[in-house]
């Protein structure tokens, strides 16, 4: 069976709730490999909710639909405060990336409580700001940034990653609306240990199956190289 845009592969899927330190309940989903122990965990942080971002934004939804089966990864998705999706609406109100610090902490506490292995933050657009600003506060393997706009994260937030034991991987579309590869190289120059990946023909929203597959491949290359490259057909 060819893996297409709407393909959902077998996994153990569980609706979950996260409780933040300031009393907000966040709704989400945990997807696990069907019969195996995950080798690593993706904690996903979605694009800007005031511009349509939520836990079902397509790259994150497809990561949860495919990567437990194809790469033995656990995938945690959730709506940050005030964000709605078919799963439900998280409590609270959008905090412009400030109060969402507690949302990231709640997700990482959930990972710790469940004993999920080798967590990586995977932020997309607005989610990259949360990963850059707050990721270093937690026990993670590293952060993967998809289409970072660098609107809220400051130069100091970026530079703080240099010398840190955690990995920083930056995936930048050639035709991004906010930050293209040449400028990204300048903005991340303070972190020479970071890995910068420029994607020819890519756009900020990674629309289309070709772009989605490239992004998921790059994530798997970093997190579980044994599963790279991802197959385009499912034989299960």
pLDDT tens for residues 140-149? 999 999 999 9
Contact criterion met (CB below 8 Å) for 200 and 174: yes
- The percentage of residues in the chain with a pLDDT greater than 70, rounded to a whole number, is 100
Q: Are strands 25-32 and 73-78 parallel, antiparallel or unpaired?
A: antiparallel
Task: Kindly give the residue spans of alpha helices, DSSP state H, lying in the chain.
Answer: 58-71, 100-114, 126-134, 155-159, 181-187, 209-223
Domains of the chain: 12-227 (3.40.50.1820)
Tell me what the mean pLDDT of segment 77-82 comes to: 98
pLDDT at 138 > cutoff 90:
yes
pLDDT tens for residues 155-181? 999 999 999 999 999 999 999 999 999
Distance CA 176, CA 199 (A): 10
126 contacts: CB under 8 Å, gap ≥ 6 = 45, 46, 47, 48, 49, 53, 97, 149, 152
Distance CA 224, CA 226 (A): 5
pLDDT at 236 > cutoff 90:
no
pTM of the predicted structure, to 2 decimals = 0.98
């Amino acid at each position: 069976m060819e893996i297409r845009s709407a393909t959902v592969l077998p996994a153990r899927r569980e609706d979950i709730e996260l409780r933040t330190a300031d009393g907000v309940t966040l709704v989400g989903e945990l997807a696990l490999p069907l019969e195996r122990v995950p080798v690593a965990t993706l904690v996903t942080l979605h694009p800007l909710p005031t511009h349509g971002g939520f836990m079902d934004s397509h790259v994150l939804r497809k990561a949860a639909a495919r990567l437990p089966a194809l790469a033995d990864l656990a995938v945690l998705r959730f709506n940050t405060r005030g964000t709605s999706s078919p799963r439900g609406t998280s409590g609270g109100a959008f905090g412009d990336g400030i109060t969402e610090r507690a949302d990231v902490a709640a997700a990482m506490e959930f990972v710790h409580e469940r004993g999920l292995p080798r967590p990586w933050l995977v932020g997309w657009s607005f989610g990259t700001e949360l990963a850059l600003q707050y990721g270093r506060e937690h026990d993670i393997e590293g952060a993967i940034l998809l289409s970072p706009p660098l609107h809220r994260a400051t130069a100091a937030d970026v530079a703080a990653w240099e010398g840190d034991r955690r990995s920083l991987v930056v995936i930048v579309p050639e035709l991004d609306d906010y930050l293209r590869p040449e400028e990204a190289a300048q903005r991340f120059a303070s972190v020479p240990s970071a890995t910068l990946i420029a994607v020819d023909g890519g756009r900020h929203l990674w629309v289309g199956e070709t772009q989605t597959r490239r992004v998921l491949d790059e994530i798997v290359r970093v997190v579980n190289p044994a599963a790279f490259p991802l197959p385009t057909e499912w034989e299960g």
